Amino acid sequence: MIQTTFSSYLAESWNKIGEIKILKPGGMTLDFSIDALNLTIPKCKINENIKILDVGAGFGVLSIYASTNYPNSEIIATDISKCMIDSLNYSIQGNQIKNVTAKVMDGQSMPELQSESFDYCFSMFGLIYFPDRLKSLKEMYRLLKSNNNSKVSIGSWQSDAFLPMVLEKTYEKVTVGSSGGLKLTSKQPALSLDDKVLFKSELEQAGFKNVEIHSIGHPLEVTTESLSNYLRPENPVVDDFFKLIGDDNINKFKETFINLVLELFPKNENGFHIVPWNSYIGIGEKL
């Protein structure tokens, strides 16, 4: 089996998700986004007119939450996928939100944004999918104000985050042959910053100081019936594995994934599988 380039590194793969018509974007990245906001923005600034940039904003989980919890903030939410920005605009218009502007933009190069114009820049589980992370981090550095305690705040998955972890274990199991299961020859994008040391060094290479990498977990209760929902090909993270194993093996892959979850995280007395979702939140300061 030839390992192709992971499609979750490609902008167009994120458009396959399609427009999502949700007024209050949530899901499992919300708790991590709230953590990142709390760890990054001091409480005394909550009501100030701070400028926030959200890069790889998706359909706006962090931005929509921040719009009401930082009521005097001005937020620019950017994403390379037009679908995501259309979904975010649906939520902005439906909630009559005045302090969020959504723009289609490649997070690796944002020339239409002025240098030194933001107080805080976030990328929750976005930067990890950019082909050139360092270029993007340098761009975020350019956009943050100097001498202002400005901070960048990045969310990345740890290697035991539920979906990428079980996808990888499933791949190894499905490809098992006489020489054992296949290992990925390069990291899947979802886990591209699962190394604390690498994460810190990339933030420092971009110019950030006083870098701290926080480790945060939000285990999730899932039902057996809901497990197949994680295996939608519209999700580029899942589709990467479907492409690796080929169309003929997709059903086997799905079955193995579900059996692995049952084995690794047996149902508790309430009928739920408690699955781990662990992330790093890396925060650096521009002096």
Ligand X SMILES: C[S@@+](CC[C@H](N)C(=O)[O-])C[C@H]1O[C@@H](n2cnc3c(N)ncnc32)[C@H](O)[C@@H]1O
Judged by the rule CB under 6 A, the positions of this chain that interact with ligand X are: 11, 14, 29, 33, 56-58, 61, 79-81, 84, 106-108, 124-126, 129-130
Q: Which is nearer to ligand X, 36 or 174 (CB)?
A: 36
Q: Which is nearer to ligand X, 15 or 149 (CB)?
A: 15
Q: Which is nearer to ligand X, 58 or 284 (CB)?
A: 58
CB of 51 to ligand X, least distance (A): 18
- With a CB cutoff of 8 Å and minimum separation 6, the contacts of 87 are 19, 20, 21, 22, 25, 58, 59, 60
Q: What is the largest CA-CA distance in the chain?
A: 62
Cα separation, 39 vs 284, in Å, equals: 11
Q: Which is nearer to ligand X, 11 or 113 (CB)?
A: 11
Beta-carbon neighbour count of residue 44 at 10 Å?
7
CB of 274 to ligand X, least distance (A): 22
**Residue 157 contacts residue 215 (beta carbons within 8 Å):** no
Question: Dihedral of CA 167/134/58/31: which sign?
Answer: positive
Q: Which is nearer to ligand X, 174 or 199 (CB)?
A: 199
CB of 8 to ligand X, least distance (A): 8
CB of 83 to ligand X, least distance (A): 8
**For ligand X, which residue has the nearest CB?**
58
CB of 115 to ligand X, least distance (A): 19
Question: Dihedral of CA 81/85/90/95: which sign?
Answer: positive
Cα separation, 80 vs 102, in Å, equals: 11
CB of 287 to ligand X, least distance (A): 26
Q: Which is nearer to ligand X, 133 or 254 (CB)?
A: 133
